[in-house]
Amino acid sequence: ALAAAEAASLAPAFVADGRRIAVLLNVAAPEDLANLDPAICDGIGLVRTEFLFETSHGLPDEETQYRVYRDILVWAQGKPVTIRTLDAGGDKPIAGVTVDGESNPFLGLRGIRLSLARPEVFRVQLRALCRAAVHGTLKVMLPMVAVPSEFDRANEMLGAEFAALHAKGIACVRPPLGIMVEIPAAALRAVDFAAAFYSIGSNDLTQYTMAAARDIGAVADLNDTGNPAVLALIEATVEAGLKRGVEVSLCGDAAADTNLTRALLATGLTTLSVSPIAVARLKAAIAKVDA
């Protein structure tokens, strides 16, 4: 039985209608990949980089970040790897970076807002990413983007850091830059962003759509990605991707909820990203969804 389960998780995932569904991994720390065969996935859909900043010895320097990103790319053996820039704030406070005492941290200075407010921190990460990109197929994405100007400013900074490294003769590649779609404003107007891809963060998209925090048990029933309003925003994002010819994936926890697999695939999504432990179950659920 174990051999059969392993074989199933190594095989690519298809829906009964023949549509190939890419199954990617979410990674919260490099240890998540230890002893894992890259053959179980089609790549990595989300690397949360907060772990690098959650230490007691200050912010990580460029070299430290470069090595961590490089090792993940090497693990993936050429498969695409999407690394998210620092998503501090909200449910992820980080000493020395996030602002204390906000009345509502979920609506405050977090994600890309914080990176743009702290360019000296952000630029270090962008340089490390450009250097790591030499070692595989790297894509970079920005968390908590609300308006196109945030993407434009970050994209400009990425270009500047790449150019500076290149001018110094340091090996580097400018990775494609995409956005996480996790704020309703971005889902409704995804088409306005010059992003290279969209990755739906259903955890935040659900809480902002339903006005039900992801970390308050008393409103857990309302915090439902299967709600038609949330699914409509996911579908709007998929349509924007088709219109602009860019890839759309979903990397929130809903991707691993097999009760939602049918509804998510019905929005037109063809790429889901889940934690390694959820891969085999998700592939089995995908195979059971009928056309």
Active site residues: 251
Q: Does residue 175 touch ligand PEP according to CB under 6 A?
A: no
Using CB under 5 A, list all residues that contact Mg ion. Answer: 182, 201, 204
Residue 158 — left, alpha, or beta (φ > 0 → left; ψ -120 to 50 → alpha)? alpha
- Asked if 49 and 11 touch (Cβ cutoff 8 Å), the reply is no
Round to whole Å and give the CA distance between 194 and 210.
27
Tokens of 161: 């850091």
Partner whose binding site includes residue 273, from ligand PEP, Mg ion, none (CB under 5 to 8 Å by kind): none
87 annotated to a ligand binding site: no
37 CB burial (10 A radius; 0-12, 13-18, 19+): exposed
48 annotated to a ligand binding site: yes
Tokens of 159: 């270009």
Q: Which residues contact 109 (CB under 8 A, 6 or more apart)?
A: 89, 98, 99, 102, 117
247 forms beta bridges with 197
Kindly indicate which of the ranges 35-43, 70-78, 102-110, 198-206 contains the residues binding ligand PEP, using the contact rule CB under 6 A: 198-206
Q: Does residue 201 touch ligand PEP according to CB under 6 A?
A: yes
Round to whole Å and give the CA distance between 50 and 68.
12
CA 47 to chain centre: 7
Report the residue from 202, 209, 261, 267 that binds ligand PEP according to the rule CB under 6 A: 202
Report the residue from 42, 150, 182, 247 that binds ligand PEP according to the rule CB under 6 A: 182
* Beta carbon of residue 49, minimum distance to ligand PEP (angstroms, whole number): 10
Partner whose binding site includes residue 202, from Mg ion, ligand PEP, none (CB under 5 to 8 Å by kind): ligand PEP
Kindly indicate which of the ranges 33-41, 60-68, 70-78, 196-204 contains the residues binding ligand PEP, using the contact rule CB under 6 A: 196-204
**With respect to ligand PEP, which residue has the nearer C-beta, 65 or 162?**
65
* Beta carbon of residue 71, minimum distance to ligand PEP (angstroms, whole number): 21
Round to whole Å and give the CA distance between 229 and 244.
23
Between residue 14 and residue 73, which ones bind ligand PEP under the rule CB under 6 A? 46, 48
177 forms beta bridges with 140
Encoded one letter per residue, x for contact with ligand PEP by CB under 6 A and - for no contact, window 67-106 reads --------------------x-------------------
Round to whole Å and give the CA distance between 73 and 80.
8
Residues that bind ligand PEP (CB under 6 A): 46, 48, 87, 182, 201-204, 251-252
